[in-house]
């Protein structure tokens, strides 16, 4: 088995990197090595390595333990690893094909890519750009899943001219490129003359132009409109994940290919609970008498408040588990667990009576 690499080295950040720097590097690398996009034989392995590094370094407590004890330190509080989202490459299978979900990426793509596409070279027109929007979810919405109606602005094909940009859909051959959709220029280099083909600037690769421009869209073949559709967010979706929906971006010019829509998920924090994969973590303060004698305390969970027994002689920082009181598993059935760290509060001020009782107790213990 290959030796594990330092988590900071995996993400390409320094040990003093901020959370924002760590998150930015993680998203960039996750996008680069996501198996849906990177077909290299080691892409999946690197993608998991990147996820594991981020899972540790994005958490203050785990990061502190790792900085102090290395890999051994990450096994302490709740364990190391990826929890319930170690393999998220097939979210489309979970949501079904009806939602139009094309895949998962750790980062959105912004705008269209450089150069020109095969559609433009084949005479279909210029491709539309991608759109990226952020979607905020409450803590419980991310845990249990939710259906959201998304509203956003995008370019859509003109209904009057069906995207041709021509009044009455009447077109003629482009004189600039003679209907080829491309223009060829001769460039001189050190090796001699070179012919370079590029998309025709007049017809944008369509090979046809309008006899008269459509009055509705001014000849562009598309118009900016408000669009909306319902998105089903699966239970247990992690913070920072980006969902891709094909053909939901901007329509192309002159019937060019439509871009995609990327929805980046941002999960709002909970005042008392923290989610790590399918498991939930929380801290509860108890007094000295409960720690010594044992007792019962009330603990908040995503399923409501529950009673939990505290055993006699409980030490501060002890962690107890509430089985299946975590969130629904992102992949698979059932729920994760909830881990409760008990913090014993030592009184700082005592009344004379309390002090006398503690002194008596001290005499008895001796």
Rounded mean pLDDT of 12-26?
Answer: 91
pLDDT in tens, 327-355: 888 767 788 899 999 999 998 888 888 88
pTM, full prediction? 0.56
Give the burial string for 53-65 (b: 16+ CB within 10 Å, else e).
bbbbbbbeebbeb
**Residue 101: exposure state from Cβ atoms within 10 A (0-12, 13-18, ≥19):** buried
Separation of alpha carbons 1 and 6, rounded Å: 15
Helix ranges (DSSP H) in 185-320: 288-293
Of all residues in the chain, what percent are helix, strand and coil, respectively (each to 5)?
A: 25, 30, 45
Q: Contact at 8 Å (CB) between 234 and 243?
A: no
pLDDT bin (cut points 50, 70, 90) of residue 73 is low
If one compares 345 and 255, the residue with the highest pLDDT of the two is 345
Over 70: is that where the pLDDT of 84 sits? Answer: no
Annotated binding site for Zn(2+): 158, 161, 174, 177, 200, 203, 214, 217
* 274-306: pLDDT as tens digits: 998 889 999 999 999 899 999 999 999 999 999
How high does pLDDT run on average in the chain?
A: 80
Element containing residue 222 per DSSP (H, E): strand 222-233
The answer to whether 195 touches 138, Cβ cutoff 8 Å, is no
Distance of alpha carbon 126 from alpha carbon 206, whole angstroms: 8
Confidence of residue 238 (pLDDT cuts 50, 70, 90): confident
pLDDT at residue number 323:
94
pLDDT at 39 over 60: yes
Please choose, from the candidates 240, 298, 251, the residue with its C-alpha nearest in 3D space to the C-alpha of residue 153.
251
- Lowest mean pLDDT of 121-130, 152-161, 197-206, 278-287, name the range: 121-130
Q: Where in 111-181 does DSSP place strands (E)?
A: 131-137, 146-157, 171-173
Annotated binding site: 158, 161, 174, 177, 200, 203, 214, 217
Say if residue 153's pLDDT is above 90: yes
In the predicted structure, residue 117 carries a pLDDT above the cut 50: no
**pLDDT tier for residue 318 given thresholds of 50, 70 and 90:** very high
The yes-or-no verdict on residue 118 having pLDDT over 70 is no
Tokens of 231: 């998105």
**Contact at 8 Å (CB) between 28 and 12?**
no
pLDDT band at residue 99 under the 50/70/90 scheme:
very low
Angle between helices 43-57 and 19-33 (to 10 degrees): 170
Alpha carbons 180 and 204: distance in angstroms, whole number: 11
Any idea which of 119-123, 177-181, 288-292, 296-300 has the lowest mean pLDDT?
Answer: 119-123
Output 236 or 125, whichever has higher pLDDT.
Answer: 236
Sign of the Cα pseudo-torsion (147, 151, 154, 160, in order): positive
pLDDT in tens, 48-69: 899 889 988 988 878 877 886 6
């Amino acid at each position: 088995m290959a030796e594990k690499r330092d988590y900071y080295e995996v993400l390409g950040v320094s040990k003093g990197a901020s959370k924002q720097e760590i998150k930015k590097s993680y998203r960039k690398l996750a996008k680069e090595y996501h198996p849906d996009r990177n077909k290299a034989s080691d892409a999946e392995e690197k993608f998991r390595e990147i996820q594991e590094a981020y899972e540790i370094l994005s958490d203050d407590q785990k990061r502190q333990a790792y900085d102090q004890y290395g890999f051994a330190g990450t096994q302490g509080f709740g364990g190391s690893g990826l929890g319930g989202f170690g393999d998220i490459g097939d979210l489309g299978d979970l949501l079904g094909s009806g939602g139009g979900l094309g895949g998962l990426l750790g980062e959105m793509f912004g705008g269209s890519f450089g150069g020109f596409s095969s559609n433009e070279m084949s005479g279909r027109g210029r491709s539309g750009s991608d759109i990226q929007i952020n979607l905020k979810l409450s803590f419980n919405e991310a845990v249990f899943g939710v259906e959201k109606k998304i509203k956003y602005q995008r370019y859509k094909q003109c209904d009057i001219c069906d995207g041709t940009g021509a009044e009455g859909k009447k077109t003629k051959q482009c004189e600039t490129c003679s209907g080829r959709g491309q223009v060829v220029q001769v460039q001189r280099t050190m090796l001699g003359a070179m012919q370079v083909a590029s998309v025709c600037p007049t017809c944008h690769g369509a090979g046809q132009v309008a006899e008269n421009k459509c009055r509705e869209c001014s000849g562009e073949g598309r118009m900016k409109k408000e669009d909306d559709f319902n998105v089903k967010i699966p239970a247990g979706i992690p913070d920072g994940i980006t969902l891709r929906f094909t053909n939901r971006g901007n329509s192309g010019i002159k019937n060019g290919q439509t871009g995609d829509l990327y929805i980046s998920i941002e999960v709002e924090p909970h005042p008392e609970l923290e989610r790590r994969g399918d498991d939930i973590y929380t801290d509860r303060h108890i007094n000295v008498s409960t720690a010594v004698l044992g007792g019962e305390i009330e603990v908040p969970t995503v399923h409501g408040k529950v009673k939990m027994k505290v055993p006699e002689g409980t030490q501060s920082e002890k962690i107890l588990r509430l089985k299946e009181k975590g969130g629904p598993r992102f992949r698979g059935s059932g729920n994760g667990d909830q881990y409760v760290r008990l913090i014993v509060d030592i009184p700082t001020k005592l009344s004379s009576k309390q002090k006398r009782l503690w002194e008596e107790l001290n005499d008895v213990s001796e």
